[in-house]
Structure 1
Amino acid sequence: MTDPIKTHREDHILMVTLDRPKANAIDLATSRIMGEVFAEFRDDPDLRVAIITGAGDKFFCPGWDLKGAADGDAVDGDYGVGGFGGLQELRDLGKPVIAAVNGICCGGGLEWALSADIILAADHASFALPEIRSGTVADAASVKLPKRIPYHIAMEMLLTGRWLDAEEAHRWGMVNHVHPGDQLIDKAWEMARLLASGPPLVYAAIKDIVRDAEDSKFQDTMNRITKRQLATVDRLYASEDQLEGARAFAEKRDPVWKGK
């Protein structure tokens, strides 16, 4: 068997490709490998941005590998660090992740995409949560999707399993941009390079604030920010990069971010 996860590193960017013929489904073993890859990405100070995608042009990821389940993989088994797909429960990930959805994206595959910060889609991509038809629940999507798109659209997807094409997903705000299929990966790299040129400590602070605010009142999160009770914010405010940003503005030049 070939490695189900392919990685390509270029400058400060890591591209992670799920490659499990025929459909890029995720079993327990693959999920554990993915968790290790994303934990290494999180902990490598030289990496600033990740791109996730699926091999080929038909499937991004259909989610849980039902054949693996038939062979004994338990749905409540050990998915590894980061939970299913290595991302959706990975703690302290302060770096941007871009999903380049190159085809069918459904079930746990849609939940994997929703774990990213920016979602780009090929014009032939499609999205669904078909778990209802197999008598189970799309648990992570039930938590995330109603917060990302209009409630009634999310509930229709969850309750009926209906499919959205790329344009409709974009219209409801699930997808940031739709590109021709042959341009998708180039556009993902273009976005990744833009993000990689930005201030990594600020990205970490933004993601930390967003996570904190999900379960807090506005003023409670604001108080934690101003009192520097969030570690990423405290690190940013005491950093060389914070001073560099001010100096670069005053000197009318591009800042040089060091991540410290």
Structure 2
Amino acid sequence: MSDEEFLVDRRGPVTVLTLNRPEARNALNGNLIGGIGATVLAAESDPAIRALVLTAAGERAFCSGMDLRAFAGGEDVGFSDTPENRAFQRLTRGAVEVPVVGAANGSAVGGGLELLLGCDLIVAAETAKFGLPEVQRGLFPGGGGTYIAERIPLGIALQLTLTGELFTAARGYEIGLLNSVVPADQVLETAVGFAERIAANGPLGVAACKELVRLSVTDPAKAAERQRHWQGVVFASADAKEGATAFMEKRAPVWRGE
């Protein structure tokens, strides 16, 4: 696995992963998918990593989706059953254990937008465009794009998927898909800022929020069940006591994740 096509930068409790194939519009080949998966696994196994930022090199595109040339050439583009591929698939479903902030330096269409949909928060360049154009090619967004209705109103989700039309970053912010739209040169630092604010909070509480808020949209009954679990875990934790103590002592809390 070559690390030239993906770059990993540690910024304290935040890991920044950069897709580094700008000449190919950061299309996902086997090596890049494996690198994303490996980075996810590393973040999940290190309690000192509290958040992950996913961004890309270049200004034209965040990610253009699957590398069709690699696929046509018989390359494994995430379909085989490996730990890295499974971790990548969990990322696309929003099921990574650590919070993920997407930093869209450029446009994200098709599989690129599906990759962003797996992130918990999304920051985008004001010049970026987005879309799920698969129906225009006789297909449908089969990599998770149809789950866009979990993030935006149903009618708008149907409009975007049934027409395949592109939309601007401003429109993405308006419909609630994007958390922040900024000039291109501010995308990464804005995303890292979100990640650092998340990382400063109690890790057990963050984990509970990440799971329960997503479940409240997709499976309310499961969310109620898991809330009872998290109440027992979080409210009886050392971190809960530390949070209250730090507040009374007017100091920053020191989290232990337990």
TM-score by length of 1: 0.88
Residue segments in structure 1 that go unaligned for 5+ positions in a row:
none
1:101 partnered with 2:104 = yes
Find 2:40's aligned residue among 34, 38, 48.
38
3-state SS, counterpart of residue 24 of structure 2: coil
Relative distance call for 1:129 and 1:207 in structure 2 (3 A) is same
Look up the match of 1:121: 124
Look up the match of 1:235: 233
3-state SS, counterpart of residue 95 of structure 1: coil
Look up the match of 1:67: 69
Deviates more, 1:202-211 or 1:72-81: 72-81
Look up the match of 1:16: 17
Shift of 1:217: 3.3
1:82 partnered with 2:100 = no
1:195 partnered with 2:198 = yes
Sequence identity (%): 33
| Structure 1 segment 106-255 matched on structure 2, within 5 A | 106-218=109-221, 221-226=223-228, 228=229, 230=230, 233-255=231-253
Task: Give me the CA root mean square deviation.
Answer: 2.3
> Structure 2: which amino acid aligns with 1:65?
D
Matched-pair contact (CA < 8 Å) for 2:9–2:15: yes
Matched-pair contact (CA < 8 Å) for 1:36–1:81: no
1:4 partnered with 2:5 = yes
Shift of 1:252: 3.4
Q: Tell me how far apart the structure 2 counterparts of residues 213 and 2 of structure 1 sit (CA, whole Å).
A: 37
3-state SS, counterpart of residue 140 of structure 2: coil
> Structure 1: which amino acid aligns with 2:242?
E
Shift of 1:176: 0.6
Partner deviation per Cα, 1:14-42 (whole Å, 9 max, x = no partner): 00001123210002332122111111111
Matched-pair contact (CA < 8 Å) for 1:28–1:77: no
Matched-pair contact (CA < 8 Å) for 1:24–1:61: yes
